[in-house]
Amino acid sequence: GIQLAIKRIETYLPEQKKLWESSEEPVATIFNKQKLTELEEEQKIIKNQLSELDRQTQNINDHITKMKPIKHEKNDEGTDHGESDDLTIYCASCSQPIGIKKALLHMERCFSKLEGMVSFGSIVKNEGTDIFCD
């Protein structure tokens, strides 16, 4: 098919074929070649980055392999700041130290207890401190 088309062009349009063969490359071909070289450069950069990441991954895996046999020693000398069980905060209402896990529940109960002890503008005298006058 292609050979037949070439023969037809040679017989019917010999001048056009010579002009086509002698002319410069089309603009689209030049643009595509430039784009191809840009993509090849980008591909080289990405391959270098991937090889660097592979090298870093191998270093990390080697480090993990070296560290696996090492046993973790517990620190019984005092405060271990890594665990949240030891952390305490102070209640805003009663100023008692409370563990982090039970702080919210304690503060809610403590606030409602103090709120119940205070009465504003009531006939009944409040229980507890005389912060507010009756």
Encoded tokens for 89:
């905060």
pLDDT tens for 68-126 read 888 877 765 555 455 555 688 888 888 889 988 888 889 888 888 877 776 555 656 65
| Residue 32: φ, ψ to 5° | -65, -35
Instruction: Give the pTM.
Output: 0.38
SS3 state at 99: strand
**Cα–Cα distance measured from residue 12 to residue 96, given in angstroms and rounded to the nearest whole number:** 105
Encoded tokens for 17:
């074929």
pLDDT tens for 9-61 read 788 777 777 777 777 777 888 899 999 999 999 999 999 999 999 999 999 99
What single-letter DSSP state applies at residue 102? G
pLDDT value for 130? 57
